[in-house]
Amino acid sequence: MAKATPETRLQSEVLATVTLSFVMDYVLLLQRIFDALFNSAIYSSLALALVIIFRSTGLLNFAQGEMATFTAYIAFVLLSGPQPRLTGGGLAGIIPGVPFTIPLAIIGAVICGMVAGAATERALIRPLGGASDLALVNITIGLLLAVNSLMAQWWGTGPRFFPAVFPSGAGQHFLIFGARLRYSTVGVWAILLSVLVLLVLLLRHTRAGLAFRAVSISPSNAELVGIRVGQTLMYGWALASGFGALAACLSANSVLLEPSMMLRVLVYAFAAATLGGLDSPKGALVGGLIIGLSQTLIPAYVPFIGFELSVLPALLSMVVILLIRPAGLYGTRRIERV
């Protein structure tokens, strides 16, 4: 859970004390917002994965985080070989001198994640048919436990160093009004937004996207007009797992790669998805932003919520939104017939 690393926080504190006497602490505020943006992007992409699956299959995938972590490990293995070392082996060893090993490894991991997601849908979710909510929750919780412990078994529970995707050294940031906007934050947002644009294009302008939207709205009607519902859902799961994989690979550097890495992130992603509306991709983006910002800003400005309690505002906002407006900010209201 590393939003502000101690180092950046120290920097911003120092910066703040210097500027405080002159201009309040707007710079500190800006700095905190910039720091929060990185996490927001991660939350948004994992929330997006949750939303895609909820929209199509109508279930909350509790294993989303673990599936994503698994792909991050795959990227790690691709980079450094099956015997995890810091350098050598893997892609970097096989094709020396190839400049883009990290992006290549991440793309490989995303593809593996998509295949695994599709396989999960086909093997575990589809055979259950329209089972009860509890059964679906059980399946995903079972998957969470199994994947988590297998990762611990294969790669150990100790944290691993995952190379940074974007330059994130000491001086590598933009300076905006005295606050540091790191290259990695900009890069993550660039990736997230471009993938989102691709997703929108896919959904709006391709046959598969049309089929997916039809299935989300009404599976039975979609089936009647000749859409293969199962297959479409499988693609949906692949897509969602791809998003999850991206989130895990991009954040693995800052939170350190370990089997339970995404578990905490998943809680925030749930909060983000709920806040935005569980069936709205736009909501996932906005929810991720809000949750990420509140996670950093509220502990900083509300005295009795320490950084240790930073999970509280996120979960509280989730509960409150569920009680006031269960559909979330952008979700569609569900009307049930009894």
Partner 1 sequence: MSAPLVVVAKGSKEHKRWQNVQWLYLAGFLLLTPLVLQPFEIGKMNRALIMSVAILAVNLVVGFNGMLALGHSAFMGIGAFVTASMVQDENWDYWQVLPVVLIVGFIMGVVIGLPALRVKGLYLALVTIAQAAVFPTLVNIDELGIAKRTGGPNGKGVSEEVIAPSYLEWLPGVDGARGGSAYRYWVIVLMLGVTLLLITNYLRSRPGRAVLAIRDNEAGAAVYGVNLPVVKTANFAISASLGSLAGLMWCLDKGFVAGQDFTFLLAIDLIIGLVLGGVGTIQGSLVGGLFVVWVNDLTKRISVPLGLYTLNGDGPLAKAIFGLILILFTFFAPGGIVSLARMVSDKLIKVVPLTPSGVPIEPLDSFDPGMESTRADAAVKLAVIPPVLLAAGWLLMAVNNLIVGVLAFGLRMTILLAPVAMLVGSNELKAHAAGNRPDSVAGPANMARLLGGLGTLFVVVYAVQRFVLTY
Measure the CA–CA gap between 43 and 126, rounded to whole angstroms: 27
**Calpha distance 126→293 (Å, rounded):** 37
> Which among 109-117, 174-182, 281-289, 301-309 is the span making contact with partner 1, rule CB under 8 A?
301-309
Measured from the Cβ of residue 145, the count of other Cβ atoms closer than 10 Å reads 13
Provide, rounded to whole angstroms, the least separation between the CB of residue 151 and partner 1: 8
- Pick between residue 152 and residue 202 the one whose CB is nearest to partner 1: 152
Question: Rule CB under 8 A: which of 261-290 touch partner 1?
Answer: 267, 270-271, 274
Whichever of 78 and 271 has its CB closer to partner 1, that residue is: 271
Instruction: Pick between residue 225 and residue 324 the one whose CB is nearest to partner 1.
Output: 324
CA angle 263, 266, 272 (to 5 degrees): 160
At 251, list the tokens: 């954040």
The secondary structure of 269-295 as a DSSP string is: HHHHHHHH-TT-HHHHHHHHHHHHHHH
251 binds partner 1 (CB under 8 A): no
Q: Does 20 bind partner 1 (CB under 8 A)?
A: no
Query: Distances from the Cα of 303 to the Cαs of 269, 299, 307, in angstroms?
Result: 25, 7, 10
d(CA 151, CA 157): 8
> Interface with partner 1 by CB under 8 A: which range of 10-18, 90-98, 99-107, 144-152?
144-152
Which residue type, as a one-letter code, is found at position 321?
I
Q: Is 215 in the site for partner 1 (CB under 8 A)?
A: no
Residues of this chain, 308-337, that bind partner 1 according to CB under 8 A: 308-309, 311-312, 315, 318-319, 322-323, 326
Q: Among 30, 33, 104, 124, indicate the residue that binds partner 1 (CB under 8 A).
A: 124
Please list every residue from 150 through 169 that binds partner 1, using CB under 8 A. 150, 152-153, 156-157
CA atoms within 13 A on the CB side of 298: 18
**Measured from the CB atom, is 98 or 141 closer to partner 1?**
141
